[in-house]
Structure 1
Amino acid sequence: MSNMWKEFKAFAMGGNMFDLALGFIIGIAFAALVESLANDILLQLVAAIFGTPDFTALSFTLNDAEIRYGSFLTVLIQFLLLALVLFGIVKLLKRFGMGNFRAQGQQECPYCKEFVAIDAIKCKFCTADIEPGQLEEEDVELLKKREGWQNPNDGIA
């Protein structure tokens, strides 16, 4: 029993557990901050424009069933504002070089059929030039040096 207690204590007091706990606590605080910005500031701007921050009173009756579309609209607007705030924060952090915002996932190399990162521009196995499945801003200059490469975003406003 004593040995089991020592193992548990080493596990509970280990660096990974504290890192996880700290990340969890910071995540909760960050979520509260983003939610407050979306609901207490941006949703209040919606209230200033439409006269109410809450559309839950909007409904209609169909065959004795109350369809509360206003509640759905309120949740939809809250979601969109929250997504907008998160998008803005990620873009801001990315601009200042903070955080790891690399693309996640893999794609198959068309030449050797090995899996490489989704944003890879060269296969690490056969060294063939490949088209990235997701284009990163910093890779555009490298890709422009390729003969005949066309940016898929050219001409898109």
Structure 2
Amino acid sequence: MRKLWIEFKAFALGGNMLDLALGFIMGTAFAAVVQSLAKNLLMQLVAAIFGKPDFSRFSLTLNGAEIRYGAFLTDFLNFLMMAAVLFVMVKLMKKIGLGNFRAQGQMECPFCKEFVSSDALICKWCTAELEPAMVDQEEERRRHSFRRAAPEQV
């Protein structure tokens, strides 16, 4: 029983599990902020423009069935606004240098077929120059400065 407790404690308090729990908690809090911004600010701007805080009252009756297209329209607008807010917040955080927005995972080197980091510029096994899947402006600057610093290979 004691051995089982020691294994459980190592599992529950291990780095990966703790990181996952903290990430989940922070993600939930961040989602609440984004949702509040979209609902309490942006939807109120929609209400100021269209005169209604949402469109849930809009419906259509067809063969005795009520089709509430207004509720769908409201939910769709909420989704679009939350996605836009999240996009802008992530872009701002990335621009000011908060957070780690580097690619995660690995990719296969097309030359030697070994696995390297997905944001690698040069394969650590065969030293071939790689093209990352998505290169942003910061990464492009880093790549050019690396090429200038590295001696030309013959």
TM range (shorter): 0.7 to 0.9
> Compared with structure 1, are the counterparts of its residues 131 and 7 closer, same or farther at alpha carbon in structure 2 (3 Å cutoff)?
closer
The alpha-carbon deviation at position 12 of structure 1 amounts to 9.3
Q: Percent identity?
A: 57
Q: Which position in structure 2 is the counterpart of 1:126?
A: 126
Normalising to structure 2: TM-score of the pair?
0.74
Q: Which position in structure 1 is the counterpart of 2:151?
A: none
State whether structure 2 residue 73 is matched by structure 1 residue 53.
no
Higher helix share: 2
Instruction: Judge which range, 116-125 or 46-55, deviates more.
Output: 116-125
Matches within 5 A, 1:1-157: 3=2, 7=6, 10=9, 14=13, 16=15, 22-141=22-141, 142-143=143-144
The alpha-carbon deviation at position 18 of structure 1 amounts to 6.3
Give, in whole Å, the separation in 2 of the partners of 1:76 and 1:100: 30
Q: SS of the counterpart of 1:98?
A: coil
Q: Which position in structure 2 is the counterpart of 1:154?
A: none
Uncovered stretches (5+) of structure 2, i.e. residues with no partner: 148-154
> Compared with structure 1, are the counterparts of its residues 79 and 5 closer, same or farther at alpha carbon in structure 2 (3 Å cutoff)?
same
* 1:8-56 C-alpha deviation (Å, 9 max, x unpaired): 8955994757666555444333322221111001111111111112111
> Compared with structure 1, are the counterparts of its residues 121 and 71 closer, same or farther at alpha carbon in structure 2 (3 Å cutoff)?
same
> How many residue pairs were aligned?
145
Normalising to structure 1: TM-score of the pair?
0.73
> Compared with structure 1, are the counterparts of its residues 104 and 6 closer, same or farther at alpha carbon in structure 2 (3 Å cutoff)?
closer
Uncovered stretches (5+) of structure 1, i.e. residues with no partner: 147-157
Q: SS of the counterpart of 1:120?
A: coil
Give, in whole Å, the separation in 2 of the partners of 1:5 and 1:112: 44
What amino acid does structure 2 have at the position aligned with 1:71? A
> Compared with structure 1, are the counterparts of its residues 59 and 88 closer, same or farther at alpha carbon in structure 2 (3 Å cutoff)?
same
